[in-house]
Amino acid sequence: MAERTSATQRATREAVRATLEGKRTEPGAVIFKVMLLVMLLSSLLILVVLLADILIGAWPTMRDRGFDFITSGLSLNPETAGVWTGIIGSLIIAFLVILLAIPIGVGAAVYLEEYAPDNRLTQWIDTAVRNLAGVPSIVFGLLGLTMFVALVNGIGLGGSTEGKNVIAAGITMAALVLPIVIITSAEAIRAVPSTIREAGYGVGATKWEVIRSHVLPSAFPGILTGAVLTLARAFGETAPLLVIGVATGFFSASSDATLLDNLTGPYTALPVIVFSWSRQTDPAFAATLAPAAITVLLAILFALNGVAIYFRNRFEKRW
Amino acid sequence: MVSRMDDAMTTSADLVPGAEDLDLDAMVAPTGDEADDTHPIIINVENLNVFYGDFHAVKDVSLPIRQNEITALIGPSGCGKSTVLRCFNRMNDLVESARVDGTVEYHGVDLYSKKVDPVEVRRHVGMVFQKPNPFPKSIYDNIAFGPRIAGYADNMDDLVEETLHRAALWEEVKDKLNESAYALSGGQQQRLCIARAIATSPDVLLMDEPASALDPIATLRIEELMYELKKDYSIVIVTHNMQQAARVSDRTAFFSIELGETGQRTGRLVEFDHTTRIFTNPSEQETEDYITGRFG
């Protein structure tokens, strides 16, 4: 049975309703929110305009040439020029990065995180690696020119380019991304909960067994994601290659060239092709072929990022 | 032996719901249940001092752990009971700044002697941690990892099955041995961790607040399991839950905090005795204040 409400209760209810139902107006908050939205949209707009501009420029080439553009080599004739030489060069560089930077970087990260004593020297090395990751890529180009070109030449792989070839480029690029590999791997290793390590030691595992059987498998998805993103970086980087003598013009290997001749001869890479075509006076190169090459480069980079995201989701560990 | 265990189990079963309004005396195991001193000492601690850098964490602890008994370490937070526990299998070695003085003898061998390999120590003295921490692997591999690295050469399937039986987990997991251990409930995960710890056949089992992350039902199952396991193992348990210490342990060590001149908080052992005595008639006022809830 409902109780009858007295006059005082009704009065209280009205008073409470008056305080609760008041709607606050804050002009500052509204302006702030709108400003944030504008900032977000403007950054998106830049991206969209950029992409649209490239795709519109690339469209005629893509439409008329299709796969022929991707599978054709360098040429003076814009009708037949393609990016294949650059894709091959970039793939060889990427392969060398996988071969050199990833094992060395992961190894260095494991040592830093698991073995190095926590002292001044370790902290200093840690800071140095972080700073190294921020060094402009052109500086690594100079390092490549003075060290790796000479090294490659010294061990007899100089070929017709006297060391300014794709092997030196790969080593330079590996050095460039090494600090990033170390940082991302170290972070993945650090993210493995200490409870897992304790559990391993608790059942009588040695340090090596704990690292091999528990820490590395648990950190693997993170390391892999970092490695793929690193590879994308190596794929897109241009400046160091320009310093160490990548071919910005046109070349063609003779038909009887061996694999070694190709590796030690002149080379180019995908981003370098974009660079050299944009500088051509022939508008066919600058206005249509360059955007098409950019489209190919972006497609590869997006694909690599997609692979990284896939790995992260597929193997992500939940503790 | 059997009736004694039954008593304890009914006691703990009754205790679980609404543990807060229970009277402490009723919780203590019946008299006559006192562990006798004929159980040989398996770990003997003499004048143990532990430092973390300059911080004196534990001061002058001497404590015998007896075979086939459950020894409980209780006391307020920060009193060093976990630190002491971690000296029994040299887990403190993993903390770079930790330094241990005094002796911890296992069957008369000083565990901190230079010749002793901490990895071997941990194969004899297993450990269960506060939060269930199974490896992110299958249930089977969680059990098999320890024996595998210890070079176990017999039939691994049999060992896994037997170990899971001992940990009273076999019936629940026998159809999903190859599934991830993370698919188990928290209580099951903790029993898996106990199974993992006994898979290498240690003879001492250290438990660092093994039930603090579990609900009362899962806690009860862990306690029942401990009662089962003490036939074969010597168990040392750190617990925040006094009722738990009263329910499961034969002996209890009460630790407290001593404030140094500079405000440093150093853990020390106040009293060590049969659990019945600690909970009914402690000789130190501090112990009584703590167990009756007047402090801590």
Determine the pLDDT at residue B3: 42
Confidence of residue B21 (pLDDT cuts 50, 70, 90): very low
Confidence of residue B295 (pLDDT cuts 50, 70, 90): low
CB A93 within 8 A of CB A276: no
Residue B265 falls within a domain, yes or no? yes
Buried b (16+ CB within 10 A) or exposed e, A123-143: eeebeebeebbeeebeebbeb
Contact B126 A202 (CB under 8 A): yes
CA distance A183 to A189: 10
ipTM above 0.85, yes or no: no
Determine the pLDDT at residue B167: 87
**Residues in A touching B199 (Cβ below 8 Å):** 203
Domain spans of chain A, in order of start: 85-269
Determine the pLDDT at residue B13: 40
Confidence of residue B6 (pLDDT cuts 50, 70, 90): very low
State how beta strands B98-106 and B109-110 pair.
antiparallel
Residue B244 falls within a domain, yes or no? yes
Tally of structural domains, chain B: 1
CA distance B72 to B244: 9
Model pTM score: 0.79
pLDDT at residue B213 above 50? yes
Q: DSSP for B87-106, please give it.
A: TTTTGGGGSTTEEEEEEEEE
**Residues in B touching A195 (Cβ below 8 Å):** 129, 131, 133
Low-confidence residues of chain A, pLDDT below 70?
1-3, 248-257, 316-319
Name the most confidently modeled range: A23-32, A229-238, B27-36, B156-165.
B156-165
CATH code: domain of residue B226: 3.40.50.300
Q: DSSP for B115-172, please give it.
A: T--HHHHHHHEEEE-SS----SSBHHHHHHHHHHHTT--S-HHHHHHHHHHHTT-HHH
Contact B146 A201 (CB under 8 A): no
pLDDT at residue B47 above 70? yes
CA dihedral angle for residue B167, residue B168, residue B172, residue B176, rounded to 10 degrees = 30
For A63, the token pair is 């439409």
**Residue B176 corresponds to which amino acid?**
K
**Any residues with CB less than 8 A from the CB of A160 and at least 6 apart, and which?**
A261, A264, A265, A266
For A286, the token pair is 């600058």
Kind and range of the H or E element at B276? helix B275-280
CB B98 within 8 A of CB B51: yes
Region of B161 on the Ramachandran plot (φ > 0 left; ψ -120 to 50 alpha; else beta): alpha
Residue linked to tokens 């405000």: B263
Residue B84 falls within a domain, yes or no? yes
Question: What Å distances lie between residue B209 and B38, B90, B190, B219, CA to CA?
Answer: 28, 18, 11, 11
Confidence of residue B29 (pLDDT cuts 50, 70, 90): very low
A interface test, pick of B116, B149, B209 with most A CB neighbours within 10 Å: B149
pLDDT at residue B5 above 50? no
DSSP 8-state code for residue B217: H
Give the strands of the sheet with B41-52, arranged side by side.
B109-110, B98-106, B41-52, B55-66, B265-274, B251-259, B70-74, B234-238, B204-208, B125-128
**Residue A39 corresponds to which amino acid?**
M
pLDDT at residue B22 above 50? no
**Which of A288, A176, A276 lies closest to A232, judged by CA?**
A176
How many A×B Cβ pairs under 8 Å? 68
Determine the pLDDT at residue B175: 92
Determine the pLDDT at residue A249: 65
Q: How many CB atoms lie within 10 A of CB A114?
A: 18
CA distance B87 to B62: 12
For B142, the token pair is 């969680």
Q: Is B135 on the interface with A (CB under 8 A)?
A: yes
What's the whole-number mean pLDDT along residues B146-164?
Answer: 91
Candidates B119, B129, B200; nearest CB to A199: B129
Residue B284 falls within a domain, yes or no? yes
Nearest-by-CA chain A residue for B200: A203
pLDDT at residue B8 above 50? no
More confident residue, B190 or B18: B190
**Residue A264 corresponds to which amino acid?**
T
Q: How far A37 CA sits from the closest chain B CA (Å)?
A: 41
**Residues in B touching A196 (Cβ below 8 Å):** 133, 135-136
Residue A44 CB-density burial (10 A; 0-12 exposed, 13-18 middle, 19+ buried): exposed
Candidates B129, B136, B196; nearest CB to A198: B129
> For B167-207, what is each residue's pLDDT tens digit?
889 999 999 999 999 999 988 999 999 999 999 989 999 99
Determine the pLDDT at residue A288: 84
Kind and range of the H or E element at B173? helix B170-173
Residue B183 falls within a domain, yes or no? no
Contact A196 B133 (CB under 8 A): yes
What's the whole-number mean pLDDT along residues B56-76?
Answer: 92
Q: Provide the β-strand partners of residue B58.
A: B50, B267
Determine the pLDDT at residue A32: 95
Candidates A118, A199, A201; nearest CB to B135: A199
Angle at CA of residue A43, ends A37 and A45, nearest 5°: 95
B interface test, pick of A201, A203, A209, A213 with most B CB neighbours within 10 Å: A203
Contact B135 A206 (CB under 8 A): no
> For B242-252, what is each residue's pLDDT tens digit?
889 999 999 99
Determine the pLDDT at residue B258: 86
Which domain covers residue B9, as residue numbers? 2-127+203-291
- Mean confidence (pLDDT) of chain B: 85
Q: How far B35 CA sits from the closest chain A CA (Å)?
A: 28
Tell me the CATH architecture of domain A85-269. Orthogonal Bundle (1.10)
Q: Is B20 on the interface with A (CB under 8 A)?
A: no
